[in-house]
Structure 1
Amino acid sequence: MVPMSAALAADAPSPAVAGVPAAPRPRNRIAVSTYSFWRFLENSKIPVDKCIEHAAAMGFDGVEILHRQMDSEDNAALQSLKQTALREGVDLCGFSIHQGYVSPDPDVRQKNIDHTIKCIELAYAMGIPTMRLNTGRWNTTKSFDDLMKNRGVEPRLEGYTDDDGFKWCIDSIEKCLKKAGECGVTMGLENHWGLGLTPEGVLRIVDAIKSPWLQVTADTGNFLEDPYDRLAKLAPRTCYIQAKTYFGGGTWYTLDLDYPRIADIFRKANYRGYVSLEFEGKEDWKTAIPKSLDVLRKAFS
């Protein structure tokens, strides 16, 4: 099967008319996640519509909406966000949700399947073409602070194996494919904690499902060791990039990421999609987000 990035982003576009030269390769468009304005900090939750306005004023091309940041799922509210983006001249390009399928309890898995399908419909209503998925994790480490101290690694649930977890994930995501295809929402499985901690784990699921509606969301900040080699493994299957910056120092860790090098990795894989900023530093977002945009613009131009 041809990877999505290769199928949709050949090295040069095919000319529409014989003899007409192909246009130069366009730069990657840069978005910002609404999470960048909030970062789950107490008393700093900014309404999504205001995030869209801030993003447009700063010069971003698009906005990724964090589902947990939304105040309403009413269709009128969804259409209002779409209208705000139209008025401000930015795309709603990504939808980031939280769910997990790593559970031996079929009722828990079904609850997360239902949540995923509902979120696909929300993305469709807002005209958003991509949606971030997680694998989920074993949840044997109850404190996220402890999980970070252990570099994202946690013990398996007693009596179960990684093979069990991967089967649960694969079976669950397969049940979401029909709705994704109906709505035209490409799900991007993120390299995150849990079974998605390694590129091999992410690709094991994506390759097993073999659907154009499941690809990869490549997060530049979630490989704490060897990020460049690991991102290179994901690049050919990537439909969306989340790019982290840490101005002011990160809450749990800080990575000194070489964005020109990262941009080159994805350029070689013919990635033409969005690069979405996830600012995770302690600096005031009013100064850190514009600085982050400058970093990403220069690297991915």
Structure 2
Amino acid sequence: MLTRRSLLATVPLALSAKAKPRLRPALCAYSFRQDLQKGTLKYEDLIGIAADNDLDGVDLTVYWFPNTEDSFLMPLKRAAYKAGIEIYSISIRTELTRPAGPERDKMIADIKKWVDVAEKLGAGHIRVFGGPIPKNSTEDEAAGWVAETLLPAADYAGKHGVILGLENHHGVTDRADTIVKIVKKVNSPWVGVNLDTANFPTRIYEQIETIAPYAVNVQVKAMIKDENGPAPSDWDRVAKMLTANNYRGYLALEYEEKEDASIATPPLFKKLREVCARHS
């Protein structure tokens, strides 16, 4: 007979067991950037695309938001709820490789503004970019500036329940070792890595393995291109790295190929659902 005492006795064992992998398929709004730019697709339409393709969430690239007023944000949030889709992330433009001064202060203020927007939408994550290494600066110096900029931004984000994910995206984040150094220097539970499967120029999978323990969000591309030339991105290989590091979260398709996204993405969404199911 299961008593309250025996039930409680099982709890520590359950909590100590290794977490079951849980990967969730999602859509990155940047996949439909051309339609968003032209205005032929609205952000609410992306919610419908995600729902129609049996995805769980959307990462909303904010570049084409008409504004950040409640009159725009609240209907979008309602549409997502009604469709059973989570707006779990937004993606913003940043250049964090700025020395102390007015430009850095403005960048921090801008991140804080988007933290407020993310909180309103219910998104727990924001993708940020490190930026280029400024002329006459070293990679180490630029990496230090990124960490110094992220520190106050992370403090604010944490107070609003939002995680900042630094993407491996060229410039100062061209190498996995540098990204890890930045994240460790910030040393905040509110800063991690927004892992992109295609952005490293060399040794892609080796470098992905280096940053996988720090991943707080993942974007998958259809193709990669490194020193060996172009090739399909191996999502199963990436998923194995993630689950080995106890990652539980989203894999969002960020489609960047030339074919029309409305035609090319449905089979990729199907593949993504299958990969998530295999590794969950």
Partner residue of 1:272? 248
Using the alignment, how far apart are the partners of 1:225 and 1:211 within structure 2?
28
Using the alignment, how far apart are the partners of 1:80 and 1:192 within structure 2?
32
Distance 1:39 1:87, change over 3 A: same
CA deviation vs aligned residue, 1:238-294 (integer Å, no higher than 9, x gap)? 1110111149x9xxx954211111111111111111111101111121221111112
Residue 52 (structure 1) aligned with residue 47 (structure 2):
yes
Using the alignment, how far apart are the partners of 2:82 and 2:37 within structure 1?
30
Q: 1:86 aligns with which of 78, 81, 88?
A: 81
Contact 1:45 1:69 in 2 (8 A): no
Q: 2:184 aligns with which of 189, 203, 207?
A: 207
Identity of aligned residues (%): 30
CA deviation vs aligned residue, 1:183-237 (integer Å, no higher than 9, x gap)? 1001111111111111111111100011100011100011132211111111111
Report the secondary structure of 2:254's partner residue.
strand
Would you say how many aligned residue pairs link Structure 1 and Structure 2?
264
Using the alignment, how far apart are the partners of 1:105 and 1:39 within structure 2?
36
Report the secondary structure of 2:232's partner residue.
coil
Aligned 1:60-75 pairs, distance under 5 A: 60-75=55-70
Contact 2:98 2:146 in 1 (8 A): no
Aligned 1:109-148 pairs, distance under 5 A: 109-138=104-133
Report the secondary structure of 2:202's partner residue.
coil
CA deviation vs aligned residue, 1:30-82 (integer Å, no higher than 9, x gap)? 11011111258863662111111121112111011001021120023111111
Contact 1:32 1:278 in 2 (8 A): yes
- Most deviating of 203-212 and 36-45: 36-45
Residue 299 (structure 1) aligned with residue 265 (structure 2):
no
Partner residue of 2:205? 228
Structure 1: runs of 5 or more not aligned: 1-15, 139-155
Q: TM-score, normalised by structure 2?
A: 0.87
Report the secondary structure of 2:148's partner residue.
helix
Partner residue of 1:141? none
Residue 178 (structure 1) aligned with residue 173 (structure 2):
no
Q: Match for 1:178: what amino acid?
A: D
Q: TM-score, normalised by structure 1?
A: 0.81
Contact 1:35 1:69 in 2 (8 A): no
Partner residue of 1:290? 266
Aligned 1:30-49 pairs, distance under 5 A: 30-39=25-34, 43=38, 46-49=41-44
Using the alignment, how far apart are the partners of 1:188 and 1:46 within structure 2?
27
Using the alignment, how far apart are the partners of 2:183 and 2:99 within structure 1?
21
Distance 1:293 1:18, change over 3 A: farther
Distance 1:32 1:189, change over 3 A: same
Report the secondary structure of 1:77's partner residue.
helix
Partner residue of 1:157? 135
Using the alignment, how far apart are the partners of 1:212 and 1:27 within structure 2?
20
If each structure's strand is expressed as a fraction of its own residues, which one has the higher value?
2
If each structure's helix is expressed as a fraction of its own residues, which one has the higher value?
2
Partner residue of 2:4? none
Partner residue of 1:259? 235
Using the alignment, how far apart are the partners of 1:231 and 1:63 within structure 2?
22
CA-atom RMSD, angstroms?
2.4
